[in-house]
Amino acid sequence: MVAVSFDTLKFTHRLEKAGLPREQAEAQAEALAEAFEVNLGDLVTKADLKGYESTIRADLEKIETKLIGESIDLRKDMELRFAQADAKTETRFIKIEGDLVLVKWMLGVVIGGVVALVGKAFF
C-alpha cells in the first residue's frame, strides 16, 4: 500500500485563509484525505513493478528454453523426414534405372530382329 503524507491541518488552514468557514474547510480536508487513501491504495509501486519484472523475465526465459527445445526437436524431425524422402526417391530412381536398362535391351533385341528380317528379305 502506498503511504501518502497529506497534512489535513495545513490544508484546513489554507482553506480558512482563502475565506472558507472552519467546519467546511475541515470537511473538505477529511474528504480529500479519504479520497487519497482510497484511490492511492490501489497504485502500483516501483517495488511492485520490480517484482513483476523479475517474474516476467523468468517466464520469458522458460518460454525461450521451451521454444529452443521444440525448435531442436522440429529440426531433428525434419532431417529425419528429408532423409526418408531422399531414401524413397533414391529407391525409385534405382528401380526406374533398372527398368530403363531392361527396356534398352528389349529394344535392342527388337531392332536386331527387325534388321535380321529385313536382311533376310533382301539378301
pLDDT at 41: 61
Is 81 part of any domain?
Answer: no
Is 71 part of any domain?
Answer: no
Average pLDDT rounded to a whole number, residues 79-89: 94
pLDDT tier for residue 58 given thresholds of 50, 70 and 90: very high
Is 121 part of any domain?
Answer: no
- Taking CA atoms, 117 is separated from 53, 95, 106, 110, in Å, by 93, 33, 17, 11
**Which domain covers residue 16, as residue numbers?**
1-43
Average pLDDT rounded to a whole number, residues 107-111: 94
Is 30 part of any domain?
Answer: yes
pLDDT at 43: 76
pLDDT at 11: 86
Instruction: Answer yes or no: is pLDDT of 3 > 60.
Output: no
Average pLDDT rounded to a whole number, residues 52-70: 95
Q: What is the spatial distance between Cα 10 and Cα 6, in angstroms, rounded to a whole number? A: 9
What Rg value do the Cα atoms of the chain yield, rounded? Answer: 46
Instruction: Answer yes or no: is pLDDT of 2 > 70.
Output: no
Is 55 part of any domain?
Answer: no
| Overall number of domains in the chain | 1
pLDDT tens digits, one per residue of 9-42: 888 888 889 998 999 988 998 888 887 776 666 7
Q: Which residues of 55-84 are buried (b: 16+ CB within 10 A; e: fewer)?
A: eeeeeeeeeeeeeeeeeeeeeeeeeeeeee
Q: Provide the whole-model pTM.
A: 0.43
Q: What is the spatial distance between Cα 12 and Cα 20, in angstroms, rounded to a whole number? A: 9
> CB neighbours (10 Å) of residue 100?
10
DSSP type of residue 103 = H
